Amino acid sequence: MTAQIINGKAISDMIREEVKAETDKLRQQGVVPGLAVVLVGEDPASKVYVGSKEKACIQLGFYSEVHRLSADTSEEELLALIHKLNEQSTINGILVQLPLPKHINEKAVIDAISVDKDVDGFHPESVGNLVIGDDSLLPCTPAGVIELIKRAGTDIAGKHAVVIGRSNIVGKPVAMLLLRENATVTICHSRTANLKEIASQADILVAAIGRAKAIDSSYVKPGAVVIDVGINRLPDGKLAGDVDYEDCLEVSGAITPVPGGVGPMTITMLMSNTLKAAKKAHGIG
């Protein structure tokens, strides 16, 4: 048996087509979704991510603003920009690219973003809404994980899902979303005893650890759906996930590759969130 390979690029393209079609319809009603991305400093990876977000906006016909600020921008200056964007009617989504320079309090900045424009889904009120099951903008990578599982044809309800990793940006929200989809959820982390024993009971296994190839086939129940969130740079410059893909290919029922699995979904879900925020701002169902 060889696993179904979950093609994140193809699924992401399909969702972008859907977002584009809806955006074209909205335009006829005079509504153009607008995204503001704020980059502080010169972090090379952040620059690449911001460029990709700008490109996606153009591709989908969104209004896009990119604010590239110098590394010595003060917290006050950044907060003033956020307040301005909160008030600006052409902007429906605000994303501050993380990490921020050390002298800026990340939490103060995230808290300042209007919850209606919180397309990253990191604001405490968005997190609270996610936990209690209210409608909210969902964090992009976790929402992408759920889309991949569903669009690969897996019914989540009643399954045992094991999430390895408990970060605020991936592990915890993925676990909450799986719970919302009626999975039975176990969250594992660096202090979990018997990780292998627990992981190998999973019908759906999500790895968000940040350690290259940490999960080999001995952690995977035959036929399980394996979602690899990890992006790790190997010494030879290549990218690897948290899952040993080659080793798990045979035993899994379905598996995401790295690159080309979860990665392409993140920006697509950001676009989907911006569209959703624009519709809400204009009272469109």
Q: Least Å distance between CB 1 and ligand NAD?
A: 27
Tokens standing for residue 140: 């992009």
Identify whether the C-beta of residue 35 lies closer than 8 Å to the C-beta of residue 93: yes
Given candidates 169, 183, 199, 251, which one binds ligand NAD under the rule CB under 6 A? 169
Any contact of residue 262 with ligand NAD (CB under 6 A)? yes
Indicate the residue among 91 and 170 with the shorter CB distance to ligand NAD.
Answer: 170
- Of 52 and 154, CB closest to ligand NAD: 52
Nearest-approach distance from CB 257 to ligand NAD, in angstroms: 12
Q: 104 or 229, CB closer to ligand NAD?
A: 229
Assess contact for 165 and 207: CB atoms under 8 A: yes
Q: Which stretch, 34-42, 56-64, 177-185, 223-231, contacts ligand NAD (CB under 6 A)?
A: 223-231
* 167 assigned to a ligand binding site: yes
Tell me: does residue 171 bind ligand NAD (CB under 6 A): yes
Candidate residues 97, 136, 252, 266; the one interacting with ligand NAD per rule CB under 6 A:
266
Tell me which amino acid residue 284 is. Answer: I
Is 57 a residue that touches ligand NAD (CB under 6 A)? no
- Kindly give, in sequence order, each residue whose CB lies less than 8 Å from that of residue 33, ignoring residues fewer than 6 positions away: 23, 26, 60, 62, 63, 92, 93, 274, 275, 277, 278
Clarify whether 88 is annotated catalytic. no
Positions 106 through 145 that interact with ligand NAD (CB under 6 A): 141
Q: Which two tokens stand for residue 166?
A: 């408990």
Using CB under 6 A as the binding rule, whether residue 255 contacts ligand NAD is answered as no
Taking the complex as a whole, the smallest distance from the CB of residue 25 to ligand NAD amounts, in Å, to 28
Q: Where are the alpha helices (DSSP H) in 38-137?
A: 44-60, 75-87, 106-112, 124-132
State the Cα–Cα distance between residues 172 and 162, nearest whole angstrom. 11
- Between CA 51 and CA 74 the distance in angstroms is 23
Size of the site for ligand NAD (CB under 6 A): 24
CA–CA distances in Å: residue 225 to residues 58, 107, 202: 34, 34, 8
Taking alpha carbons only, the member of 35, 36, 41, 168 closest to residue 104 is: 41
Question: 135, 154 in Cβ contact below 8 A?
Answer: no
Structure tokens at 50: 């911001």
Pick from 6, 130, 174, 229: which binds ligand NAD (CB under 6 A)? 229
Which of 209, 224, 269, 271 contacts ligand NAD by CB under 6 A?
209
Is residue 167 at the binding interface for ligand NAD, with CB under 6 A as the rule? yes
Look up 120 and say whether it is catalytic.
yes
Nearest CB to ligand NAD, comparing residues 54 and 86 = 54
Tell which residue, 158, 103, 140, 199, has the closest CA to residue 12. 140
97 is catalytic: yes
Annotated binding-site members: 165-167, 231
Binding residues for ligand NAD, per CB under 6 A?
141, 164-167, 169-171, 188-190, 192, 195, 208-211, 229-232, 262-263, 266
Catalytic sites, residue numbers: 53, 97, 120
